[in-house]
Amino acid sequence: MPIYHHPTPIGTAVITEQDGYITAISVNGDDQPTNIDAPNQTLLTAIEQLDEYFAGKRLVFDLPLKPEGTRFQQEVWQHLQTIPFGSTVTYTQQSRQMQQPLAIRAIAAANGKNKLWIVIPCHRVIGSGGELTGYAGEIWRKKWLLEHEAKIAGVGQLSLLL
């Protein structure tokens, strides 16, 4: 299972590939470990698309993804991919859009198990009062990503509560 470390404006992206699919992308601290092997074509494509995203040139990812999770988690992650670039929804809105209004906590928990950060945009889900909650990559990264997308999408600065 090839793993590649790639610098980004918010820290080092750790990208995992298996059998031609991207299975995980997370962002760690700013230390970039040395990559032992050159990235394969799937990893190169992921790196290129992440670079384009951070440069403001990519709004939608087109990668072969294979997230591992339950059927319910898969449904939640598929829904996350329908949230437009530069937009946010609340956990309550997400549960209603998924026609599961009583499953807010289960949906939030599934969001938290997303291993394909940025590409499956769980950062676009916020608390009902506009607060930034529930991001495994630390709240400051979630805020950075949302402000980056708002700027690129031309919606100005999002009004975010901490």
* Residues designated catalytic: 122
List, in sequence order, the alpha helices (H) in 57-138: 71-80, 91-97, 104-112
Nearest to 29 by CA among 135, 137, 114: 137
Strand partners, 16: 3, 24
> Exposed (0-12), middle (13-18) or buried (19+): which is 47, by Cβ within 10 Å?
middle
